[in-house]
Amino acid sequence: MKREFTCIVCPNGCEIEADYEIKNGTPVISNIQGNTCKRGEEYVRQELISPKRTIASSILVEGGELPLVSVRITKPIPREKIPEAVQEIRQYRVTAPVRAGAVICHDFLGFDTDLITTKNVPAAHK
Amino acid sequence: MIRENIDTLIVGGGPAGLAAAVELWKKGMRSILIVERERQLGGILRQCIHDGFGLSRFGESLSGPEYAQKFIDEVTALGIPYLTDAAVMNITGSRLVTIATPGGIREYQAKSVVLTMGCRERTQGALAIPGERPTGVFTAGVAQAYINLYNRMPAREVIILGSGDIGMIMARRLTLEGAHVHAVFEVQPYPSGLPRNIEQCLNDYHIPLYLSHTVTKIHGSSRLEGVTVSAVDAHMKPIPGTEQYYPCDTLILSVGLIPENELSLDAGVTLDPRTHGAIVDENYMTSVPGIFAAGNVLHVHDLVDFVSMEAERLADHVAEYVREGSLPPCTLDVHYDTDINHVIPQKVSGANPFRLSMRVSHVMKNAAIEVRQNGNLIAKKAVKKALPAEMIQFDVPADNLQTSGDLEVTAVQR
Amino acid sequence: MQKLYDVIIIGGGVVGSAIARELSRYRLKIAVLEKNLDVCFETSGRNTGVCHGGFAYDPGTLKAKLCVEGNRMMGALAQELDFPFKRTGKVLVGNTDEEYEQLGRVMRQGAVNGATGLSMIGEEELHRLVPSVQAKFAMLSRNSGILDPFLMTIALAENAHKNGVEYHFDSEVTGIRRSGNENVWEITTAHGDTYAARWAVNAAGLGCGKISDMLGIRGYKIIGSKDDYIILDQRLGALVPMPIYTVPSNTYMGIHVTITTDGNVLLGPTAEDTDNLSYYGTEQKNLDYLYQEAMKIWPHVKKSDYIRTYSGILPKWVDDNGKIQDFKIEIRDDLAPNAVNLVGIESPGLTASVAIARYVIDMMKEREHFAENVDFDGTRKGITRFALLTPQEQDALIQKNPDYGELVCRCEKVTKAEILQAIHNPLGAHTMVSVKYRTRCMMGRCQGGYCQMRISSMLEKELGIRPTEITYERAGSHPFFGVVRSEAESRREAQ
């Protein structure tokens, strides 16, 4: 089988073409072209098994200079779990001051990834 | 009113300004000041909460705020002076800079000024889309600020005009926040944002992208009620009979960025009509001696990494200018053909190597960018697929350059 | 029982507000009922902002008489009320013998009307005055000028308010009846409020026909003349020292390239008849036409200098043949005693507004003695524009109030202090556009890309309203559906 991919690993966005077969439920790539680095091939393999994505969002901050602090997960999770992840993220809140890199949730949704803040939010001036 | 002298005043504390400041400091420059109009440093990155920043500069994928924080931490650690809540009101050609702050007006007589004001978004008004003027029409950056900084939800049923990167990123962001993004329309026959964003922001969420289409009418007297969309011909003129009405309460515009050069114009800096940024030489110096520019104020980049790296390169030249009081003259023009949209720098000396940044004006497969002078091939860069959405950069070595004879940049099909 | 007003003015545009202000010189209880959420949301705010000389109207008409009077008093008025007005002069440019003759006729007509400062000038003089124009000759009207139509209307309204006039927004008049035994007008609004007044004044602009009918003076035929405009970047203002008009025909003033008091160049108008008096959409064909026509006389239009497009509608009273009529200003003692009926107040209504007001009051005073309001104060101070001050003056302001040191709108350099004053304006208008018209925030080249978030936040905070209550301009124009993250939903503390 043949499939085309746009690699999302880096901004180069390589257009990759892969020939593959499914053997015992796992894809085996017989020929791959268009990728300019090794990560492209890994990306294609992962896309064929189960596409993974990262997610960035925001959570509420109490008493901060800003009403929200931005968050992200540290490792990609299965793409189909993104909506569930967003619903989960919505429920958190933190209290200012908060620093970038603070872990909001370890092992987020059981995917061996952390939900972390990505911004410093100082406490609001009284 | 405070009056001071200073070696280098940096206008704007975003990714370009911060990178320039850090690099200048590392070169031993101490009489420098970053002036930022917002309360926090970081510029527009503060609202770009998605990841994908920093792969080139730091070798890891960061969100916008994290990317900015790396520079802010360095500025703080080094003790580089900065003013926030400080708006530059005016810059003169002799580099007198007037700044409004809550403490009063400050004036700086600067030996050099670094312009790093970034860019602004093209608006509905600039496009002159016919129809009414209801609320519900937002540029992508405004919608992004409302959602990511202000905790305000401005959209439910959404149409996006323009396939710029911020527009596509907002398509995903809005979808994840429960809005329904019906489609993205792009007037050009090719997308204006990066392929990876089409993949992960549109395709992942089954949001269709229609090329060669544009919004030809806005409907609604209070809140937006819908838009008319038309197909366009090869000259980007709407084709009569192709009109389609889309009910929606929100129109997001991602139709281009314009370098923010009002202060540069006040200072007498000459702009390039193609980039809407300053005409600069290989030292990133503008037509006004001692005034330099880098980042999105110079030409719109697609990656912040290249913004910072450009500002870092600029620092070398600013330091030399402050030290020497002048820089070697750059009298050679860099010409280019119609396959190329613009080049930076527009002027060179012919004595020094330089980094050439450019964009093609249409999609070219298996292209080569060639730089020639006096009939000699000076530099060549092969590009598998050249897209207008992707800036092309490469170094032009000094080895074969001569100090007379303009340069010619061409894109050739291999 | 509702309170009894001496005068209810229907319509808070420039004419209604001028009447309110001029009437507040007398000891009268006055209210203005405005259907929009602020003054000047219709014709008064959607025009060219030119102070006309009075030469373009048929001799003997009210348009001619009141325009000339209005023009003469504009300088003093602008000083008293602190709104931007510049007597720039204006040129009507032409190239052909026919146009030269037509301009000659216009000039003679102007002289009959009492307009002064009119002269024919040749190419050399024209290019000395307006180097950027492309034409062979012109009629110069020295006394024409430009004014800020938003701030002029707001200034009149605020001065009226200062002298005791009430403004009621979101108050569209839906019914008027004469209460027989008490000799009062009972006026009902769309929200069901009723007002009683001894006098009623129809200054409803585009709604003048409807209100006239409600007063019992039927039969006026009103059509709209819709004008599309293009606004260009302020940097081009230096190229247009005064409004540039083409030679007018009998029905159309022709396209103009004009300048606002803030230096933006305007291209317009298009003048199309319309029955829809509330549709403000621009048309592609009109925008194309404006570009083409403007380029003929002023070849400096670049589409990259477009900032915004808008349209306005003029209410025109026409006869059965569709011929445009003069202003109608009347008191019909037979049909509607103690009601002043103003019909077809279109251009030059802005220039003439205060002259119209005085004309109206003279008519009222013929029927009733008004006692002078000895406390009347005809001055009003606007919001100080930080951007127009010298650095020394700016510094002095910041030392008094640090909010002047915080820039909210970068393009127009509007400070937090100015925005706060606009939010707490005396009329109590609370839309985002109300702040825009009072300060120029969101009016620059980025069109609020930088400042609109700050302004909506400040409105929420200062007025103590919810995000969903923020209104952009018209009723129902809410920018927000709610918050992204709510207190109620986000309850889980971080680990």
> If you measure CA to CA, which chain A residue comes closest to B63?
A118
Do the domain assignments include residue A15? Answer: yes
| pLDDT of amino acid C3 | 81
Nearest CB to C495; choose among A59, A60, A106: A106
B:166-185 residues touching chain A, CB 8 A cutoff: 176-177
Nearest CB to A68; choose among C485, C489, C492: C485
| Mean pLDDT for the stretch of residues C305-317 | 97
> If you measure CA to CA, which chain B residue comes closest to A60?
B151
| pLDDT of amino acid C397 | 98
| Mean pLDDT for the stretch of residues B257-269 | 97
Size of interface A-B (CB pairs under 8 A): 76
Q: What is the pLDDT of residues C454-475, one digit of tens each?
A: 999 999 999 999 999 999 999 9
How many C-beta atoms surround the C-beta of residue C369 within 10 A?
6
Q: C435 vs C21, C438, C439, CA distance in Å? A: 22, 5, 6
Q: B366 vs B198, B362, B383, CA distance in Å? A: 22, 13, 6
Helix, strand, coil tally for chain C in percent (to 5)? 35, 25, 40
Q: What is the pLDDT of residues B108-151, one digit of tens each?
A: 999 999 999 999 999 999 999 999 999 999 999 999 999 999 99
| pLDDT of amino acid C490 | 87
pLDDT at C1 over 60: no
> If you measure CA to CA, which chain A residue comes closest to B69?
A119
CA distance A125 to chain B (A): 13
| pLDDT of amino acid A125 | 81
Percent of chain C past pLDDT 90, that is, above it, reads 95
- Are A60 and A111 in a shared domain? yes
- Are A62 and A45 in a shared domain? no
Do the domain assignments include residue A46? Answer: yes
| pLDDT of amino acid C359 | 98
- Are A31 and A70 in a shared domain? no
Q: Binning pLDDT at 50, 70 and 90, where does residue B413 land?
A: confident
- Are A60 and A112 in a shared domain? yes
Q: Which residues of A touch C487 (CB under 8 A)?
A: 60
Q: Which residues of B touch C402 (CB under 8 A)?
A: 102-103
Q: Which residues of A touch B52 (CB under 8 A)?
A: 11
Q: What is the pLDDT of residues B40-81, one digit of tens each?
A: 999 999 999 999 999 989 999 999 999 999 999 999 999 999
Q: What is the pLDDT of residues B352-377, one digit of tens each?
A: 999 999 999 999 999 999 999 999 99
* CA dist., res. B317 & res. B308, Å (int): 15
| Mean pLDDT for the stretch of residues C333-354 | 97
Do the domain assignments include residue A102? Answer: yes
CATH number where A86 lies = 3.10.530.10
Helix, strand, coil tally for chain A in percent (to 5)? 20, 40, 35
Q: Which residues of A touch C486 (CB under 8 A)?
A: 60
Q: C401 vs B86, C70, C418, CA distance in Å? A: 15, 38, 11
pLDDT at C195 over 70: yes
| pLDDT of amino acid C47 | 96
A:70-99 residues touching chain B, CB 8 A cutoff: 70-72, 79, 82-83, 86
Burial C61-77 (b: 16+ CB within 10 A, else e): ebbbbbbbbbbbebeeb
3-state secondary structure of C178: strand
- Are A26 and A71 in a shared domain? no
- Are A65 and A102 in a shared domain? yes
Q: Which residues of A touch C495 (CB under 8 A)?
A: 103-106
| pLDDT of amino acid A23 | 87
CB contact under 8 Å between B105 and C411, yes or no, is no
CATH code that applies to domain C84-146+223-318: 3.30.9.10
CB contact under 8 Å between C485 and A105, yes or no, is no
| pLDDT of amino acid C38 | 98
Percent of chain C past pLDDT 70, that is, above it, reads 99
| pLDDT of amino acid C248 | 84
B63 part of contact set with chain A, CB < 8 Å = yes
- Are A9 and A37 in a shared domain? yes
| Mean pLDDT for the stretch of residues B230-238 | 97
Tokens of C122: 């040749």
- Report the number of secondary-structure helices (H) and strands (E) in chain C: 12, 24
- Are A42 and A8 in a shared domain? yes
As for how many domains chain A has, the answer is 2
CB contact under 8 Å between A92 and C492, yes or no, is yes
CB contact under 8 Å between A104 and C489, yes or no, is no
How high is the mean pLDDT of chain B? Answer: 97
3-state secondary structure of A114: coil
Is C168 marked active-site?
A: no
| pLDDT of amino acid C179 | 84
- Are A60 and A37 in a shared domain? no
Subunits with 3+ C-beta pairs closer than 8 A to C: A, B
CA distance C489 to chain A (A): 6
Q: Binning pLDDT at 50, 70 and 90, where does residue C425 land?
A: very high
Its domain, for residue A77, covers: 56-117
Instruction: Please identify which residue in the block is written with the tokens 């281009």.
Output: B256
> If you measure CA to CA, which chain C residue comes closest to B216?
C284
CB contact under 8 Å between A105 and C494, yes or no, is yes
A:104-123 residues touching chain B, CB 8 A cutoff: 118-120
Q: Is the model more confident about C22 or about A27? A: C22
pLDDT at C250 over 70: no
- Are A61 and A101 in a shared domain? yes
Residue B409 near residue B371 (C-beta atoms within 8 A): yes
Do the domain assignments include residue A33? Answer: yes
Q: What is the pLDDT of residues B161-201, one digit of tens each?
A: 999 999 999 999 999 999 999 999 999 999 999 999 999 99
Q: DSSP per residue over C434-480, as a string?
A: HHHHHH-TT-STTTTTTTHHHHHHHHHHHHT--GGG---SSTT--S-
CB contact under 8 Å between C493 and A67, yes or no, is no
| pLDDT of amino acid C495 | 62
| Mean pLDDT for the stretch of residues A104-114 | 96
Do the domain assignments include residue A126? Answer: no
CB contact under 8 Å between A58 and C485, yes or no, is yes
- Are A61 and A107 in a shared domain? yes
C:188-247 residues touching chain A, CB 8 A cutoff: none
Q: Which residues of B touch C231 (CB under 8 A)?
A: 125
pTM value is 0.96
Do the domain assignments include residue A82? Answer: yes
pLDDT at C339 over 70: yes
> If you measure CA to CA, which chain C residue comes closest to B43?
C450
A99 part of contact set with chain C, CB < 8 Å = no
How high is the mean pLDDT of chain C? Answer: 96
- Are A84 and A98 in a shared domain? yes
Nearest CB to C485; choose among A60, A95, A105: A60
CA distance C295 to chain B (A): 17
Q: Which of C52, C161, C256, C430 does the annotation list as catalytic?
A: C52
- The domain spans of chain C are 84-146+223-318, 386-494
Q: Which residues of A touch C484 (CB under 8 A)?
A: 58, 68
| pLDDT of amino acid B414 | 77
Q: Which residues of C touch A94 (CB under 8 A)?
A: 493-494
B:183-222 residues touching chain A, CB 8 A cutoff: 194-196, 198-200, 204
Chain C interface mutation, best of A58, A60, A87, highest count of C Cβ atoms under 10 Å: A60
